[in-house]
């Protein structure tokens, strides 16, 4: 079935091109379509929002990986009007991946993604709505950015590509579907920052208007708080192009004035980041990511550095294994020159474009003789190249999000180039280009239907956690679940996560640390019923637990 999803667009485009060559292709859009094409930013945002809601209806959002729980913790914290949370009592039992417990209780990640989740919670009570908003704003920003390269209709198409392609059909390694539009892991926020940065840089170079400086500053601030490393690389390319093109146009004075709003936004963002760092880590210059690495990681972030000589003292075996087997193992593979493999390249090409849209990207290479088209591609290439330095072999698509506006720019340019191909006056290229657009819509619908069918009866760890919590809430009182793993527990099936309003949660998940330590924790959380949960032995089975050895 995956073969059908990947190749059907290319086959449909070829069929329409053949019919056009035979003189049987006509397309005259109705008035409402023309009106939508004339307002690409608004149309792209509205359609993306609607399609994201449809995807979430088909595939209800449920956190499935460590990172998503961390983002949700931060989102709940911000929605409650706090920058961070106090360290929970008995915090050693509640340690979990990508989450700080001391000096405060908060996720390690930069706050941009979580701020959108908080917006969803504040507006509707649902964090997934924040994901929809980030996708919709990214679509509008892409359409706005692309209008400097192409006509409004093509800009609209480029703005919709994320939700039609890698927002829905993207099936990375068979693991993630609707990754950027129906999960909490992120991607759209950094793509939004990249679009504002690239579009703002070009507009500033050409017109030097203060409002474009403001949007450039906003894009840079988003990148700094979404994916700082890749964002710095992407911003460096856009900034260098701005300086080169601005100098070529001899507008240094106007450009300096227009950069004033950009500097003001960045100053405000920098102050905000310092305040956030101070609240979470106690040091305005120390990011939560750095503090987490100090407490829980063995390997450095870059292969140019060496692993710690004095590794952390882990209190839980599963966290030690995660740091030493998974993360350090990835670092060592990258250190040996295998950070990015041919399989990574194939999977990422499939995720973002697939075989149908890959020809459009290749055709777009012919546009690289133009300065800003070359800049867009360089932004993508530099972001990708940065990961030859990062010490990781688990190279996920959202790592490239700051450079994806460059990928979409070159792809749309190639798509337009295809549409203009008319051998012997026949609209073969227009038919093929239209076929690709229709095929993206058809593949979106087909993938949604297949995903809905696949999910029937599926629960996994997120669904099982929810079932257990619903069962416990049917009885009065509050509960404390002690989780105990077998030595060979699968590292990516994690059960111990808790939200921001820690003491108010009806169910708390905690790690069993032995009878004496567990007894002390029960004394701290008096009044909660204690349960023992051993997912590797009897999944979804709870037993009443007494740390003195009496278990029911």
Does residue 449 or residue 465 have the better pLDDT?
465
The predicted structure's pLDDT at residue 27: 56
Q: Which CA distances in Å does 194 have to 215, 281, 399, 401, 523?
A: 11, 28, 12, 8, 50
Mean pLDDT of 339-355: 69
285-320 burial, b for 16+ CB within 10 Å, e for fewer? eebbbbbbbeebbbbebebeeeeeeeeeebebebbb
Backbone angles phi, psi at 404, to 5 degrees: -65, -30
Please give the structure tokens belonging to residue 238. Answer: 């856009």
Long-range contacts of 420-428 (CB under 8 A, 24+ apart): 423/21, 426/20, 426/21, 426/23, 427/20, 427/25, 428/17, 428/20, 428/21
Using CA atoms, how far apart are residues 307 and 287, in angstroms rounded to an integer? 20
Long-range contacts of 541-544 (CB under 8 A, 24+ apart): 542/468, 542/472, 542/481
Using CA atoms, how far apart are residues 516 and 526, in angstroms rounded to an integer? 15
First and final CA of the chain: distance in angstroms?
47
Please give the structure tokens belonging to residue 545. Answer: 């637990």
What proportions of the chain, in percent to the nearest 5, are helix, strand and coil? 65, 5, 30
Closest CA to 200 of 140, 156, 145: 145
Confidence of residue 406 (pLDDT cuts 50, 70, 90): very high
Confidence of residue 170 (pLDDT cuts 50, 70, 90): very low
Please give the structure tokens belonging to residue 180. Answer: 């950027």
Using CA atoms, how far apart are residues 133 and 181, in angstroms rounded to an integer? 9
Confidence of residue 173 (pLDDT cuts 50, 70, 90): very low
Does residue 463 or residue 419 have the better pLDDT?
419
Backbone angles phi, psi at 19, to 5 degrees: -65, -35
Per-residue pLDDT at 460 exceeds 80: no
Neighbours of 35 (CB within 10 A): 11
Mean pLDDT, rounded, of the chain? 86
Mean pLDDT of 202-219: 93
Per-residue pLDDT at 225 exceeds 80: yes
Contact 391, 330 (CB under 8 A): yes
Per-residue pLDDT at 188 exceeds 80: yes
According to DSSP, the β-strands at 528-533 and 478-483 are parallel
Consecutive H or E run containing 198: helix 188-207
The predicted structure's pLDDT at residue 182: 79
Please give the structure tokens belonging to residue 470. Answer: 């619903």
The predicted structure's pLDDT at residue 271: 97
Question: What residue ranges in 328-461 does DSSP mark as E strands?
Answer: none
Please give the structure tokens belonging to residue 356. Answer: 């149908």
Using CA atoms, how far apart are residues 36 and 34, in angstroms rounded to an integer? 5
Contact 195, 155 (CB under 8 A): no
The predicted structure's pLDDT at residue 306: 83
Closest CA to 360 of 154, 135, 122: 154
pTM here?
A: 0.92
The structure tokens 């209190």 sit at 315
Closest CA to 483 of 528, 540, 525, 527: 540
Closest CA to 80 of 137, 113, 127, 112: 127
The predicted structure's pLDDT at residue 168: 47
Please give the structure tokens belonging to residue 18. Answer: 């053949």
Residues 413-447 have pLDDT tens digits of 999 999 888 887 777 788 788 878 877 777 777 76
Contact 480, 521 (CB under 8 A): yes
Please give the structure tokens belonging to residue 491. Answer: 């590292």
Residues 292-312 have pLDDT tens digits of 999 999 988 887 788 888 888
Contact 187, 168 (CB under 8 A): no
Confidence of residue 391 (pLDDT cuts 50, 70, 90): low
Peptide bond into 103 cis (omega under 30): yes
């Amino acid at each position: 079935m995956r073969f059908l999803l990947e190749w059907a667009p290319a086959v449909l485009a070829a069929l329409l091109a053949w019919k056009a060559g035979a003189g049987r292709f006509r397309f005259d859009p109705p008035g409402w379509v023309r009106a939508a094409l004339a307002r690409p930013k608004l149309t792209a945002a509205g359609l993306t929002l609607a399609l994201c809601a449809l995807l979430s209806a088909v595939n209800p959002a449920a956190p499935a990986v460590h990172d998503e729980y961390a983002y949700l913790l931060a989102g709940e914290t911000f929605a409650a009007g706090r920058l961070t949370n106090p360290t929970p009592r008995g915090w050693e039992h509640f340690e979990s991946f990508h989450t700080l417990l001391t000096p405060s209780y908060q996720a390690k990640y930069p706050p941009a993604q979580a701020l959108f989740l908080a917006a969803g919670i504040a507006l509707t009570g649902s964090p997934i709505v924040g994901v929809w908003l980030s996708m919709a704003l990214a679509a509008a920003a892409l359409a706005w950015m692309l209008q400097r390269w192409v006509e409004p209709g093509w800009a609209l198409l480029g703005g919709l590509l994320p939700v039609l392609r890698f927002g829905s059909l993207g099936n990375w390694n068979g693991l993630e579907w609707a990754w950027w539009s129906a999960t909490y892991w992120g991607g759209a926020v950094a793509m939004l920052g990249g679009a504002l940065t690239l579009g703002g840089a070009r507009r500033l170079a050409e017109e030097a208007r203060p409002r474009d400086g403001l949007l450039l500053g906003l894009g840079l601030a988003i990148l700094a708080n979404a994916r700082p490393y890749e964002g710095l690389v992407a911003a460096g390319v856009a900034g260098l192009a701005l300086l080169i093109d601005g100098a070529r146009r001899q507008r240094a004075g106007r450009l300096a004035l227009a950069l004033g709003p950009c500097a003001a936004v960045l100053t405000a963002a920098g102050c905000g980041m310092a305040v956030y760092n101070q609240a979470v880590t106690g040091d305005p210059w120390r990011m939560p990511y750095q503090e987490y690495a100090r407490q829980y990681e063995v390997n450095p972030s870059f292969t140019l550095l060496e692993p710690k000589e004095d590794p952390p003292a882990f209190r839980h075996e599963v966290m030690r294994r995660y740091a030493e087997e998974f993360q350090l193992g990835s670092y060592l593979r990258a250190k040996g020159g295998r950070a990015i493999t041919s399989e990574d390249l194939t999977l990422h090409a499939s995720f973002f474009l697939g075989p149908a849209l890959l020809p459009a990207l290749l055709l777009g290479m012919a546009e690289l003789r133009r300065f800003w088209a070359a800049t867009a591609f360089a932004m993508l290439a530099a972001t990708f190249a940065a990961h030859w330095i990062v010490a990781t072999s688990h190279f996920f698509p959202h790592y490239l999000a700051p450079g994806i506006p460059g990928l979409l720019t070159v792809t749309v340019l190639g798509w337009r180039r295809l549409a203009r191909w008319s051998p012997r006056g026949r609209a073969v290229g227009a038919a093929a280009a239209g076929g690709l657009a229709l095929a993206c819509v058809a593949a979106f619908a087909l993938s949604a239907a297949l995903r809905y069918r696949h999910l029937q009866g599926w629960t996994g760890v997120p669904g099982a956690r929810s079932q257990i919590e619903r069962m416990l809430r049917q009885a009065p009182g509050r509960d404390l679940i002690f989780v105990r793993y077998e030595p060979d527990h699968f590292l990516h099936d994690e059960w111990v996560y808790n939200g921001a309003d820690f003491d108010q949660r009806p169910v708390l998940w905690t790690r069993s640390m032995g009878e004496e330590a567990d007894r002390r924790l029960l004394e701290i959380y008096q009044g909660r019923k204690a349960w023992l949960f051993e997912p590797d032995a009897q999944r979804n089975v709870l037993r009443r637990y007494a740390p003195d050895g009496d278990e029911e």
